[in-house]
Structure 1
Amino acid sequence: MNTRRILAGAVVALAAAGGGVLAASHWLNRDADVAYAAQPDAHQDAVQQLWAAPVTSVDGKPQSLSLLKGHPVVVNFWASWCGPCVEEMPALSQIQREYAKKGIQFVGLGVDSEKNIQAFLTKVKVAYPIYVTGFGGADLARAFGNNAGGLPFTVVIDAKGNIRSTKLGQIDPAALKQTLDAL
């Protein structure tokens, strides 16, 4: 009887250890940049979904992201309640100012309510357009490979509509600039 308990305990311990290894692997790699060389069709679909996504301006007016087609774009998924999102906004604004002359447009997609985003933007000034996606923005981010649904999540798309990089977690300004310089 004690042997069965020990064996059952060992099985449970092994299962827990395996789950811990998988979880650690996920969390240690969650901030890694992802290059998009594989599955080009899936990624083209994500870009097409972005152009067709229903978004509104912060004052509730319907907008179309399709106006960004043909231009290099940095899309940042964020929310007002996301600490790392808020922390990286000054760096994103500064990089937007630096790269605007190269025709690179930054866009913030708020995975949040219109009311929360409006209140946030009265306190924090951002140098790029902010649009409201609501919680449907999480589905759009998943189309770009953000299966964890975490924020912030940043996507760089070149003028041809190819995804050049994604970043789950706060951006590294130097790495982002390196990607933008290669466009």
Structure 2
Amino acid sequence: MNTKRILAAAAVAAIAAGGGVLAGHWVRGGDVSEAGEAPVAQSAVAQLWSAAVTNADGKPQSLALYKGRPMVVNFWASWCGPCVEEMPTLAKLHDEYSKKGIQFVGLGVDSGKNVKTFLQKVPVDYPIYVTGFGGADLARAFGNNAGGLPFTVVIDAKGNVRATKLGEIRADELKRTLDAL
């Protein structure tokens, strides 16, 4: 377990230093088929709706209840410095954009115990779910091949991936993406 954390921390550090291909840049849409859908992204969204997640107390939850709503999905972990740094920004943006119908969701790629302890210290006003380390596979489905955190995905109301970002978000950049939904 400690080895996984050390490797994950090293990956985050490499990404923060610019080592990731996508680090620090929003990636828009994706390769679009004639039907107007990005096949890989559509598959990832389907995986999101069926993902096995729990709340911080370990009770099974379903992300499918968010179908049909524009969403910001943020993959994070309690041991990830940049993840913790961006949470206040995400909370402020959630407050602003929830009035416009945009749902923010945090997916903790961490243990339930760590997420629960973190949320007791740092309250967050948008839903936080626990994916465990399997959340890294879900993030990879959205194109996070580096496996780094934080990783943010913007999905429109039709279930299309509009943008992804590996690394800490900047409010102005995320606002531009959300205003275009």
Q: TM-score range by the shorter chain?
A: 0.7 to 0.9
Return 5+ residue gaps in structure 2 as ranges. Answer: 1-16, 33-37
- Aligned length, in residue pairs: 160
Match of 1:112, as an amino acid? D
**Which of 149, 152, 155 in structure 1 is aligned with 2:153?**
155
Query: Normalising to structure 2: TM-score of the pair?
Result: 0.85
Give the whole-Å Cα distance in 2 for the aligned partners of 1:29 and 1:173.
18
- State the TM-score, normalizing by the size of structure 1: 0.84
Question: Cα RMSD over matched residues?
Answer: 1.4
Give the structure, 1 or 2, with the largest relative contact order (CA under 8 Å, sep 6 or more): 2
Cα separation, partners in 2 of 1:94 and 1:29, compared to 1, 3 Å: same
| Whole-Å separation in 2 of the counterparts to 1:163 and 1:28 | 19
What is the aligned partner in structure 1 of residue 26 from structure 2?
A: 33
Deviation at 1:145, TM superposition (A): 0.2
2:10 aligned partner: none
CA contact (8 A) 2:73 2:107 kept: yes
Q: CA deviation at 1:126?
A: 0.7
Q: Percent identity?
A: 69
Where do 4+ consecutive residues of structure 1 move more than 4 Å? none
Quick one: distance in 1 between partners of 2:29 and 2:143?
10
Larger Rg: 1
Per the alignment, residue 143 of structure 2 pairs with: 145
Measure the CA separation in 2 of the matches of 1:79 and 1:54.
17
Task: Give a deviation string over 1:45-101, Cα, whole Å, max 9, x none.
Answer: 000000000000111110000000000000000000000000000000000000111
Aligned to 2:133: 135
**What per-residue deviation string (whole Å, max 9, x for no partner) do you get for residues 10-33 of structure 1?**
xxxxxxxxxxxxxx9854652211
How many angstroms apart in 2 are the aligned matches of 1:112 and 1:48?
Answer: 22
Aligned pair partner of 2:165 in 150, 162, 167: 167
Which secondary structure does the structure 2 equivalent of 1:106 belong to?
strand
Indicate the structure with greater helix content. Answer: 1
**CA separation of 1:34 and 1:125: change in aligned 2, threshold 3 A:** same
User: Unaligned stretches of 5+ in structure 1?
Assistant: 1-23
